[in-house]
């Protein structure tokens, strides 16, 4: 404070304290506001495009004209056409997640808590590389490797578990099944789910892990007591992000499965494989006339809506935990005044803050009061 500050050359002794925003600030602010606005414009533009282009097919009669022939033949209206496709998209993504998500979480857990440090680094790097593989490559891999590889397994499932509808029916001879597609999807959703859950697992407060270990918890028990409860909502949003990826996947599915536009849960058959929206568009768009194209764009609109719904669901889940934390805090008469609980609040701050920098802070204490069950 008392140090002598050399007057700047050119200044007349007193420092200038008054001034407008610097030009660099103004430019940068303009740029960032501009790009934010641009995103909204693009999004709205896409929605408007989809609606305008799809409207003719949604309004048209499907029993006459262009729509009554070719790939769109035999559907009463747009909804009869898009319904099975929506189902197929959800079903395929669901099976893909069912296969991919547990593996992804397992890999994340292995990297964060089990692997020696050197191996963890390499594995993390490999998983990130997986994200960079183009989906057409996954498609080729699915055709060449996964399809034949799954056939014996498919026969086994049908023979012994055929009473369960997804495993029922005549097993495909080529292997171009929903199961093969879902396995490839499962691999494709691995990287995003793994990298997000890994980060969250790594942020588990040491404090809580040590609490579990000091009670005589094994590694796995420590994960169950300290890591999972802390990472729960982060895991859910990671999986929903994976779902987002699976929903829109086109090429791999288009290459692998031999589809039908049907409501079917069959995973292993030749001709009961529910087609997905994205693959259906990719396959049929080039050869369609105007109205059938409009029909395809209409299904694209449905996909757009589904993706939005998934995103909102993810946000809602994350936001719900944040919301109840806020409620709880406002219900408290006074903030905790003693150091320990402040410290605990501090370290318990949710990892979702890292994902959600806009401050939908989710303290674990704020998570809905349902308590993770201790199962033995």
Residues that bind other proteins (CB under 8 A): 117, 205, 207-218, 221, 225-226, 229-230, 328, 336-345, 347-348, 363-365, 367, 369, 371-372, 374, 376
CA angle 331, 337, 339 (to 5 degrees): 130
Of 128 and 346, CB closest to other proteins: 346
Of 130 and 345, CB closest to other proteins: 345
Of 20 and 116, CB closest to other proteins: 116
Unique residue bearing structure tokens 């029909």: 295
Nearest to 100 by CA among 211, 204, 243, 300: 243
Of 140 and 213, CB closest to other proteins: 213
Of 11 and 338, CB closest to other proteins: 338
For the CB of residue 215, give the shortest distance to other proteins in the complex, in Å: 4
For the CB of residue 139, give the shortest distance to other proteins in the complex, in Å: 42
- How far apart (Å, rounded) are the C-alpha atoms in residues 329 and 68? 61
For the CB of residue 374, give the shortest distance to other proteins in the complex, in Å: 5
Exposed, middle or buried, 286 (CB in 10 Å: 0-12/13-18/19+)?
exposed
Exposed, middle or buried, 311 (CB in 10 Å: 0-12/13-18/19+)?
middle
For the CB of residue 115, give the shortest distance to other proteins in the complex, in Å: 12
Unique residue bearing structure tokens 């964060």: 112
For the CB of residue 229, give the shortest distance to other proteins in the complex, in Å: 5
Structure tokens at 159: 């023979």
Exposed, middle or buried, 19 (CB in 10 Å: 0-12/13-18/19+)?
exposed
């Amino acid at each position: 404070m008392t140090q002598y500050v050399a007057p700047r050359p050119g200044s007349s002794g007193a420092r200038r304290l008054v001034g407008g925003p610097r030009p660099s600030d103004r430019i940068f602010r303009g740029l960032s506001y501009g790009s934010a606005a641009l995103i909204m414009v693009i999004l709205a533009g896409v929605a408007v495009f989809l609606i305008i282009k799809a409207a003719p097919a949604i309004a048209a009669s499907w029993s006459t004209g262009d729509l009554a022939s070719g790939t769109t033949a035999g559907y009463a209206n747009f909804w009869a056409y898009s319904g099975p496709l929506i189902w197929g998209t959800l079903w395929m993504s669901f099976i893909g997640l069912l296969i991919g998500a547990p593996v992804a979480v397992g890999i994340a857990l292995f990297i964060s808590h089990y692997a020696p440090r050197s191996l963890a680094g390499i594995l993390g790097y490999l998983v990130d590389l997986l994200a960079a593989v183009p989906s057409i490559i996954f498609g080729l891999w699915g055709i060449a490797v996964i399809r034949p590889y799954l056939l014996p397994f498919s026969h086994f499932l049908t023979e012994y578990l055929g009473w369960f509808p997804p495993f029922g029916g005549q097993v495909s001879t080529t292997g171009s099944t929903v199961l093969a597609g879902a396995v490839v999807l499962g691999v494709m959703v691995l990287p995003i789910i793994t990298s997000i859950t890994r980060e969250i697992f790594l942020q588990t407060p040491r404090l809580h892990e040590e609490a579990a270990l000091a009670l005589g918890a094994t590694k796995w028990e420590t994960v169950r007591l300290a890591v999972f409860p802390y990472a729960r909502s982060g895991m859910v949003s990671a999986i929903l992000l994976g779902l987002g990826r699976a929903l829109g996947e086109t090429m791999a599915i288009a290459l692998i499965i031999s589809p039908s536009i049907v409501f079917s849960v069959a995973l292993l058959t030749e001709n009961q494989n529910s087609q997905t929206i994205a693959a259906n568009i990719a396959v049929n768009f080039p050869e369609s006339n105007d109205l059938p194209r409009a029909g395809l764009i209409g299904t694209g609109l449905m996909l757009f809506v589904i993706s939005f719904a998934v995103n909102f669901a993810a946000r809602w889940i994350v936001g719900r935990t944040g919301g109840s934390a806020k409620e709880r805090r406002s219900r408290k008469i006074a903030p905790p005044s003693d150091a320990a609980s402040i410290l605990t609040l501090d370290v318990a701050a949710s990892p979702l803050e890292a994902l959600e920098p806009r401050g939908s802070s989710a303290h674990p204490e704020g998570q809905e009061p349902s308590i993770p069950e201790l199962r033995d």
